[in-house]
Amino acid sequence: MIVILGYKEEEHAKHVAKHLQDIKEEYCFLDTAQYPYDVLFSWKADCENSGSIIIDNKKIDFSDIKSVYWRNFSGIKNETIDDGDNTDFLSNMVYRERESALYSLFYSLKINWVNSINAFELHKKKPYLTNLFKKNNIRVPRTLITNDKDSVLDFFESNNEQIILKPVRGGAYTKKMTKDDFTKQKLSQLIVSPVQFQEYIDGTDIRVYAYQEEIYALEIRTDNIDFRTDGNAELIPIELPEKVKQDCLKVMKICDLKYSGIDIRLNSKNEYVFIEANPAPMFINVEKKTGYPLTQALINILVNH
């Protein structure tokens, strides 16, 4: 049994399900939006993989689960539990109990996670991973995380007025900063939340799809600061130097990943600058445009681990 963590209509989840069906591999969807009312589980914390989960009224023993493909996590239902004066307290407590139980299960279940909850939790802490990459001799952008407006101005000037801003955790596009961004009104907004600033790497976008030891790389040709905003970007298959391939595998190990979409910039000095490693990258469009066997590489990890 292959468990697809995600909802049935999501493009990549549905795509993987079809390919599993084609090879007659049993699978099911686990959508956490249906938990706890339509997803039931029982497990013994003192016994490894001892328990079961009920999805769509079908009971699946943990011992029968071969792999989990973590496509997307819908979160945990947070609802109001009416208890008079204690409503807020009880609602919060129920949410925490649901979260603790599910997360404990995900951490404890010793099966082939592609990828694990640990990898996804690490991915939420991008500056920490940047620090780990640097400690492992992997070239990364100079990076500042701050909600202090004076620090940003210093960073802007020390990087020849060439910096970008992006969320600390992710979820928004990258933007290049200009002098016009350093007005009192705009800088005053920084106090609300820290922002991640990085040196602007003037060069070429490279995306690497790494599946354990398999490496597929492509150049993304676009004039946009963030290639994700360009639906017409040209995708060109390329071969990476062996040193860069080894750095990609090193990144996979650091991030606890079995497959990933790794973003790199090749700068004007011919340096490969590592930006981040995505634990659940989209790949269907890339496969169509490059001919890379990305689906099969993923299926192989799920079925033949």
**How confident is the model at residue 252, as a pLDDT?**
97
**What does the pLDDT look like over 21-35, one tens digit per residue?**
999 999 999 999 999
Which residues are registered as beta bridge partners of 58?
55
**How confident is the model at residue 193, as a pLDDT?**
87
Res. 226 pLDDT band, cuts 50 70 90 = confident
**How confident is the model at residue 182, as a pLDDT?**
78
pLDDT at 247 exceeding the cut of 80: yes
For range 106-131, the mean pLDDT: 96
For range 136-152, the mean pLDDT: 93
**How confident is the model at residue 283, as a pLDDT?**
97
pLDDT at 53 exceeding the cut of 90: yes
CATH of domain 202-303: 3.30.470.20
Q: What is the mean pLDDT of the chain?
A: 93
- Which has the higher per-residue pLDDT, 84 or 296? 296
CATH of domain 142-199: 3.30.1490
Domain segments of the chain: what residues?
Answer: 2-114, 142-199, 202-303
pLDDT at 2 exceeding the cut of 90: yes
**What does the pLDDT look like over 177-200, one tens digit per residue?**
888 887 777 777 888 889 999 999
Res. 222 pLDDT band, cuts 50 70 90 = confident
**How confident is the model at residue 149, as a pLDDT?**
85
**How confident is the model at residue 237, as a pLDDT?**
97
Res. 281 pLDDT band, cuts 50 70 90 = very high
Which CATH architecture describes the domain 2-114? 3-Layer(aba) Sandwich (3.40)
**How confident is the model at residue 4, as a pLDDT?**
98
Q: Of 36-40, 59-63, 81-85, 143-147, where does mean pLDDT reach its minimum?
A: 81-85
pLDDT at 172 exceeding the cut of 90: no
Res. 122 pLDDT band, cuts 50 70 90 = very high
The pTM is what? 0.92
